[in-house]
Structure 1
Amino acid sequence: MSIRSMTGFGLAEGLTPSGTYRIEIRGVNNRFLEIQVRQPKFTAGLEQQIKKEINSIISRGSVSVFITCDKEQEETTLTWDKASVDNYMAIFHEIQSTYNLDGKVTLSDLLNFSDFIKSESTTFEESVLWGHLGPVLADAIAAFQKAREAEGEYIINELKKIVEEINRTLEQVELRAPLRITEYAKNLSERIQKLIENPPDPLRMETEIALFADRLDITEECTRLHAHINKFYDDIKKDEPVGKSLGFLLQEMNREANTIGSKANDTEISHLSVKLKELIERIREQIQNIE
């Protein structure tokens, strides 16, 4: 099983004894699983079985199944009863002979006694209908799954590109982070030199710089963000639906990016933090379609 999109389309047609079926399956993203079936009245009894088949291949999404058939379940065939017509004709001739009546018996006369015309209907049991419709549905599902897998593969490739960009941006943050402390120490020393004539106490300077470094340390945030990225790569390799879990993981990634930005105290890191959040948001948009 590969990562599948909730978006897909499948189509199949099949000629059966009960008619030619055309089945379309369309899927779009949804937080939960919703299945709608539109079908001929005579197949209404198969709706639960159809939903069961769809439910077996998708756990999230809004799925619409459209089924049409070129025939109705009941095909009416008209026949006529020759024995009844023979009886009617014999009676007509007997009446003519008895009462010495002229004229011929016409079809219009016979149609006044239309009980000799009979209709026969062909019906199919639900089990037989399922034997006709089921294989066509299976073909439509196979096409639907193929489309979902193709879309899912495309999304995963796009996600990998974005995550790689997040990795590169995070590396820039980690390279820049220690330089802030060095620059802060230099700027602090220069400011103090301007304010006082005597050199500042080195121990006091070291303490101030250490406090600054501790307050703005983003090592843990970067480490956790790296861990989340690794978890992301692991999740997209799983043989199960991961859309929801990726959504929760992105919340954690965004939290770390926000914390990095709030601790930045540096224009470059602030800009990199904004970029991280933009990239995470792009991932969030993409995974909306992942099952």
Structure 2
Amino acid sequence: MVTSMTGYGRDEAGNGQVNVFAEIKTVNHRFCEHTIRMPRQLLVLEEKVKKKANQYIRRGRVEIFITVEGESLVTKKVKVDWDLADQYVGLMTEVKDKYKLESSITLQDILQLESIFMTEEVPAVPRDLEALLLKSVSGALENLKKMRAHEGQELALDMINQLNRFGEVVAGVKNHAPSVVEKYKTRMEIKLAELTDGQIEDSRIVTEAAIFADKCDINEELTRLDSHVQQFSATLSQNEPIGRKLDFLVQEMNREVNTIGSKANDSLITREVVEMKSLLEKLKEQVQNIE
């Protein structure tokens, strides 16, 4: 089953007091890479979110966004810096004594010393928030999976069409290849006859034709191309990540086509090599999207 690396999924879960929203999108990547953005109070759950994602995604760049609405995840608590307050009161007392001031230090005087009061945020995570978070992530992953599977089937159909066309071109080259040597032999006979006034040796023609046939023999390359086409087609039906294997096969097919282009001394084969390289380039573009 072909699965695309590109997709999007969203879901939410709530309990009446708080709602958790999970959005997940994936794009192409050589490996599996995660980026998770969530309230910092929930970062302790990051590994569980990643583990859940890995159950669905084996390859691609994964971006997970989690937001929480409803009850606040933090409460604020005011603290007093008593050491600093002691210093302030001590200094005010010294000033009062030194200048023989009769007024006393009041609570209002201390409240004006803002630096001795500190506001501290205390996590206030609802007890069932973890379950809600993982539920929303699971739902988003299921939706993502459906989208990636649907797009994967579209990619598979397109690749099958390209692959079938490629196979037809390879078959055409295979049928045409034997005539290349015969055409060369005929051209050589005509050329030698012109140069020697018809006095030519059959053994020389046979030898030259044999040398040429050996240089332009592409049977091995065509056989390997047939094998690669069959492997590519069979791989498309495997129920596992196949992107890297398909990428390898396209590279090998391209290597064989390049060799055929360098060995085949024939204009028709040269044109077909251009067509095969064009089809392989289209296959390569699609393979880059496969998990």
Q: TM-score, normalised by structure 1?
A: 0.80
**Structure 1 segment 195-234 matched on structure 2, within 5 A:** 195-234=195-234
Inter-partner Cα distance in structure 1 for 2:17 and 2:46: 17
Q: Which string of whole-angstrom CA distances, capped at 9 and with x for unpartnered residues, describes residues 41-74 of structure 1?
A: 3322111110111112112111111111112224
Q: Does 1:254 align with 2:254?
A: yes
Which runs of no fewer than 5 residues in structure 2 stay unpaired? 77-122
Cα shift at 1:14: 2.0
**Structure 1 segment 139-288 matched on structure 2, within 5 A:** 139-288=139-288
Cα shift at 1:122: 5.9
Inter-partner Cα distance in structure 1 for 2:3 and 2:125: 40
Cα shift at 1:124: 2.4
Q: Does 1:9 align with 2:11?
A: no
CA contact (8 A) 1:33 1:62 kept: yes
CA contact (8 A) 1:4 1:153 kept: yes
Inter-partner Cα distance in structure 2 for 1:3 and 1:252: 20
Residues paired across the two proteins, number: 245
Change (3 A) 1:123 1:205: closer
Q: TM-score, normalised by structure 2?
A: 0.80
Inter-partner Cα distance in structure 2 for 1:44 and 1:29: 26
CA contact (8 A) 2:41 2:125 kept: no
CA contact (8 A) 1:34 1:62 kept: yes
- Match of 2:30? 31
Instruction: Choose from 109, 123, 126 the match for 1:124.
Output: 126
- Match of 1:57? 56
Q: 4+ residue runs of structure 1 moved beyond 6 angstroms?
A: none
Q: Does 1:138 align with 2:138?
A: yes
CA contact (8 A) 1:25 1:140 kept: yes
Change (3 A) 1:178 1:122: closer
CA contact (8 A) 1:18 1:129 kept: no
CA-atom RMSD in angstroms? 1.8
- Match of 1:19? 18
- Match of 1:79? none
Cα shift at 1:16: 2.1
SS of match in other structure, 1:68: strand
CA contact (8 A) 2:32 2:58 kept: yes
CA contact (8 A) 2:8 2:147 kept: yes
> Quick one: which amino acid aligns to residue 271 of structure 2?
H
